[in-house]
Amino acid sequence: MSRLFPTLFSPFEIRGRRFRNRLFLPAHGTGYAEGGRVGERGLAYYRARVESGIALLMTEAQQVVPREGQKYPQLSAADDGCIPALRELARLCAEHDCRFFGQLYHEGRAQAHSLDGSRDVALAPSALPDERFHTMPRALTVAMIEDLVGRFAAGARRMREAGCDGVEILVGMGYLHAQFLSPRTNVRSDAWGGSPEGRLRFLRETLAAVREATGDDFIVGIRIAGEEFDPDGLDLEVTLDTCRRLDRGGLVDYVNVCAGGTHGLVGASNIVPPMFVDTGLVLPWAEAVRRAVSVPVFAAGRINQPHEAERALAGDQADMIGMVRALIADPEFARKAEQDRPDDIRACIACNQACIGHRRQGFGVSCIQYPETGRELEYAHLRSAEPRKRVAVVGGGPGGMKVAAVAAERGHEVTLYERAARLGGQALLAQALPGRAEFGGLVTNLENEVRRHGVAVRRNTEATAAMLLADAPDAVVVATGALPYRPPGDFAEAHVVTAWEVIESRANVGGSVLIADWRCDWIGLGLAEKLATEGCAVRLCVNGEMAGETIPAYVRYQWAGRLHRLGVQVMPYLRLFGADRDTVYLQHTMSGDPVLCEDVDTLVLACGHQAQLELHEALEGKVPELHAIGDCLSPRTAEEAVLEGLKVAALI
Ligand SMILES: Cc1cc2nc3c(=O)[nH]c(=O)nc-3n(C[C@H](O)[C@H](O)[C@H](O)COP(=O)(O)O)c2cc1C
Ligand code: SF4
């Protein structure tokens, strides 16, 4: 029994089914579905989380309409073929006293995926344009609506047959049921629109049909957003009205409150809120829903610590707390919290890079801090070190810390050398950008792991080749990172500073600034925000299609709003050539035309980095085992450095 989190670890019941505690893993597309079914990798991913002691596992959103030939890796509940694989998941859950629900949905006009590269016919209550996916949907006929109701019921029946304890209808986040509820997206004048009750009819009939298909002892709930952040989306008023009506009709056993919606970019970016958004985003809406209904209320959205969950539960804001990214970042979250070890939890930093960022690129979820996620089959259970080696790791950035921590955990004797006074490398710079302080959590988490696993850390120590050769370790891992790259060009008369100098407040910057952003990532965006906030007139010249082209979309969307508010002028498709006293010379990357930016006091170079591989070269052939990881191989991001650290640590 947890002393620190007594409410979080108190049991709970719905329709006679027991939940061991109040922590659940909400629905999320893992990207590990194979042919619409839970595959081996997906099962291993879920196993790691279920074994840790969560009370409820929800499947990802499953389609109820067949999508033959769909390449996008997503579960489907549209035919009985889904049952065997789900049964295996149900068995896993039952073994660990974890309840198991299936989530069902129809995306409606929010058509994000194609079957074969061409566009399918999007469907919606009314033929109105969708701002995010640029679909002009076909309005559903009554026969089509009734058919869909039947498909949801059939999907729910399959969940029951697979051994689920319940089913959740994903209203939204702006999906089809939410599109029916919103007066902006449902302008029908028939019995499926026209009034709040008419707009509710599709959901009401779906839930009634689901109940009929699953029986009285099955749990039926909905997931609905407290706020969709979009003119077309639901707001708290509509959500509360909907929940009250469903509750009065006895149609739901619980309401799961989430955030965001799919109609536009603001709503979308709040579905998986990045670190710009305060923690606990969803809780005020969950509390409002809880006051409005008699059934239990679940809440998930930007909650990443057990203290926060405990506070919300003890404060009657919700009955269950869901965490997706927190459990992607640390599958052992539940066990650590239950054992009163919150400091051992690897807190999610809401960077969105390897979880939702990977999904949007078509890959399975992982975590920049914990690349074992999604790679459980390869890395969840590493063998103990045999023989035990003396390992020297040079460079205390994220990659160096990861390799040191995992190698030490396996039993090696590891020494980590860092030239600076602090561990963290470039992550220390990233956290200094506006709104990015949470990025420092990456350093805190990895430092904890380094300490926990007994790595000997030598700060303020430059490990030279001579020193390492004298010490004669069995293996050396070079993680020496990179330094700012200075592009060729004529800058002799200009006032030029590097991104790092600005971030570290070592540069004397004039009032009119031009940032040459080659990386198209958070550095250019963060510098622009920092300098504009400090009162500079900022032009952000990007050598790409848009600022933030290489970072996760939801982070980019929010940054676009922040820079617009600050009056930053963003100029895409520009290649840097040179600069003189007050003019920067660029070239349009498509037309080839010169572009002159005048009245510039300071040119800030955000032009990427240059690998520092000298130590590796000096040691080649002179030590028994030599590895290089991260930016010193090729400058990329913390994600690759940490992943390469894991791979090398597993190999040594
Ligand atoms: C990779 C990924 C996929 C998601 N897919 C779904 C989904 O299938 N159904 C759903 O209701 N929510 C989905 N979500 C939203 C999450 O359930 C959750 O509301 C969101 O991540 C915010 O919670 P968190 O701050 O605990 O991560 C997804 C989130 C992520 C990160
Ligand atoms: S990649 Fe970032 S946002 Fe995603 S789980 Fe890991 S720390 Fe959290």
Asked if residue 421 and residue 327 are part of one domain, the reply reads no
Q: What is the pLDDT of residue 115?
A: 78
Residue 9 belongs to some domain of the structure: no
Q: Give the single-character DSSP code of 307.
A: H
Angle between helices 196-214 and 236-248 in degrees, nearest 10: 50
Query: Does residue 317 have a pLDDT over 90?
Result: yes
For the stretch 56-68, pLDDT in tens is 999 999 999 988 7
Asked if residue 451 and residue 552 are part of one domain, the reply reads no
Give the distance (Å) from ligand 1 centre to CA of residue 77. 19
Q: 263 with 274: CB under 8 angstroms?
A: no
| Ligand nearest to C-alpha 350 | 2
| Ligand nearest to C-alpha 301 | 1
Q: Tell me which amino acid residue 342 is.
A: P
Nearest CA to ligand 1 atom 2: 28
Alpha carbon separation from 108 to 129, 133, 175 (Å, rounded): 12, 11, 6
Query: Does residue 499 have a pLDDT over 80?
Result: yes
In this structure, what token pair is assigned to residue 67? 């999508």
As a whole number of angstroms, the distance between CA 279 and CA 277 comes to 6
Q: What is the pLDDT of residue 303?
A: 98
C-beta 354 within 6 A of ligand 2: yes
Gap between the terminal Cα atoms of the chain: 39
Residue 15 belongs to some domain of the structure: no
Q: Mean pLDDT over residues 622-646, rounded?
A: 98
| Ligand nearest to C-alpha 32 | 1
- Alpha helices by DSSP H, 56-184: 83-95, 142-162, 176-181
Q: Strands 56-63 and 475-478, how do they pair?
A: unpaired
Q: What is the pLDDT of residue 114?
A: 80
Asked if residue 403 and residue 372 are part of one domain, the reply reads no
Query: Does residue 112 have a pLDDT over 90?
Result: no
Give the distance (Å) from ligand 1 centre to CA of residue 340. 26
Give the residue, 72 or 100, on which the prediction is more confident.
Answer: 100
Give the distance (Å) from ligand 2 centre to CA of residue 47. 19
Give the distance (Å) from ligand 2 centre to CA of residue 481. 22
Q: 45 with 193: CB under 8 angstroms?
A: no
Asked if residue 302 and residue 198 are part of one domain, the reply reads yes
**Ligand 1 site-directed mutation target among 59, 324, 330, most atoms within 8 Å of CB:** 324
Q: Indicate the burial class of 11 (C-beta count within 10 angstroms; 0-12, 13-18, 19 or more).
A: exposed
- Number of domains forming the structure of the chain: 3
Residue 491 belongs to some domain of the structure: no
The CATH number of the domain holding residue 445 is: 3.40.50.720
For the stretch 280-305, pLDDT in tens is 999 999 999 999 999 999 999 999 99
Alpha carbon separation from 72 to 36, 115, 359, 552 (Å, rounded): 9, 8, 10, 19
The CATH number of the domain holding residue 337 is: 3.20.20.70
Residue 7 belongs to some domain of the structure: no
Query: Does residue 248 have a pLDDT over 80?
Result: yes
Cβ-Cβ contacts under 8 Å for 565 (sequence gap 6 or more) = none
Q: What is the pLDDT of residue 485?
A: 96
Q: Indicate the burial class of 506 (C-beta count within 10 angstroms; 0-12, 13-18, 19 or more).
A: exposed
| Ligand nearest to C-alpha 60 | 1
**SS3 (DSSP) at 195:** coil
Q: 629 with 546: CB under 8 angstroms?
A: no
Nearest CA to ligand 1 atom 5: 28
Asked if residue 232 and residue 135 are part of one domain, the reply reads yes
Q: What is the pLDDT of residue 394?
A: 98
Q: Indicate the burial class of 76 (C-beta count within 10 angstroms; 0-12, 13-18, 19 or more).
A: buried
Residue 220 belongs to some domain of the structure: yes
C-beta 327 within 6 A of ligand 2: no
Q: 499 with 528: CB under 8 angstroms?
A: no
Asked if residue 400 and residue 353 are part of one domain, the reply reads no
pTM of the shown model:
0.97
How far is C-alpha 439 from the chain's CA centre? 13
SS3 content of the chain, % helix, strand, coil (to 5): 35, 20, 45
As a whole number of angstroms, the distance between CA 643 and CA 406 comes to 11
Asked if residue 265 and residue 411 are part of one domain, the reply reads no
| Ligand nearest to C-alpha 439 | 2
| Ligand nearest to C-alpha 27 | 1
Q: What is the pLDDT of residue 398?
A: 98
**Ligand 1 site-directed mutation target among 30, 177, 271, most atoms within 8 Å of CB:** 271
C-beta 252 within 6 A of ligand 2: no
As a whole number of angstroms, the distance between CA 412 and CA 384 comes to 9
C-beta 352 within 6 A of ligand 2: yes
Asked if residue 577 and residue 626 are part of one domain, the reply reads no
Give the distance (Å) from ligand 1 centre to CA of residue 35. 21
For the stretch 456-465, pLDDT in tens is 999 999 999 9
As a whole number of angstroms, the distance between CA 396 and CA 416 comes to 7
Query: What's the chain's Rg over C-alpha atoms?
Result: 26
Residue 293: closest CA among 328, 329, 319, 260? 319
Residue 271 belongs to some domain of the structure: yes
The CATH number of the domain holding residue 574 is: 3.50.50.60
In this structure, what token pair is assigned to residue 176? 């089809």
Task: Spell out a b/e string for 328-363, using b for 16 or more CB atoms within 10 Å of the CB, else e.
Answer: bbbbbbbbbbbeeebebbbbbbbbbbbbbbbbeeee
Q: 192 with 179: CB under 8 angstroms?
A: no
For the stretch 22-73, pLDDT in tens is 999 999 999 999 988 999 999 999 999 999 999 999 999 999 998 876 778 8
Residue 538: closest CA among 514, 503, 506, 572? 514
Q: What is the pLDDT of residue 68?
A: 73
Last residue of a domain, one of 377, 404, 425: 377
**Share above pLDDT 70 across residues of the chain, in percent, rounded to a whole number:** 100
Residue 10 belongs to some domain of the structure: no
**SS3 (DSSP) at 102:** strand
> What DSSP letter does each residue of 415-458 carry, written as one string?
EEE-SSSSS-THHHHHTTSTT-GGGGHHHHHHHHHHHHTT-EEE
In this structure, what token pair is assigned to residue 587? 């070239």
Q: Provide the 10 A C-beta neighbour count for residue 546.
A: 12
Q: What is the pLDDT of residue 262?
A: 94
Atom of ligand 2 nearest to the CA of 370: 6
Atom of ligand 2 nearest to the CA of 349: 7
Alpha carbon separation from 199 to 194, 206, 241 (Å, rounded): 7, 13, 11
Asked if residue 637 and residue 588 are part of one domain, the reply reads no
Cβ-Cβ contacts under 8 Å for 590 (sequence gap 6 or more) = 573
Element of type H or E holding 401: helix 398-409
Asked if residue 91 and residue 236 are part of one domain, the reply reads yes
Q: Give the single-character DSSP code of 278.
A: P
Ramachandran area for residue 132 (φ above 0: left; ψ -120 to 50: alpha; else beta):
alpha
Q: Mean pLDDT over residues 491-513, rounded?
A: 96
Last residue of a domain, one of 377, 411, 429: 377
Q: What is the pLDDT of residue 67?
A: 80
Rounded mean pLDDT of the chain?
96
Asked if residue 33 and residue 67 are part of one domain, the reply reads yes
Query: Does residue 221 have a pLDDT over 90?
Result: yes
Atom of ligand 2 nearest to the CA of 356: 4
Residue 546 belongs to some domain of the structure: yes
Q: 505 with 538: CB under 8 angstroms?
A: no
Give the distance (Å) from ligand 1 centre to CA of residue 228. 14
Residue-range definition of the domain harbouring residue 416? 383-484+616-651
As a whole number of angstroms, the distance between CA 316 and CA 286 comes to 10
**Share above pLDDT 90 across residues of the chain, in percent, rounded to a whole number:** 95
C-beta 369 within 6 A of ligand 2: yes
Nearest CA to ligand 2 atom 2: 351
C-beta 225 within 6 A of ligand 1: no
Last residue of a domain, one of 377, 408, 425: 377
Asked if residue 280 and residue 163 are part of one domain, the reply reads yes
C-beta 26 within 6 A of ligand 1: yes
As a whole number of angstroms, the distance between CA 252 and CA 254 comes to 6
C-beta 359 within 6 A of ligand 1: yes
Instruction: Write out 224-245 in H/E/C secondary structure.
Output: EECCCCCCCCCCHHHHHHHHHH
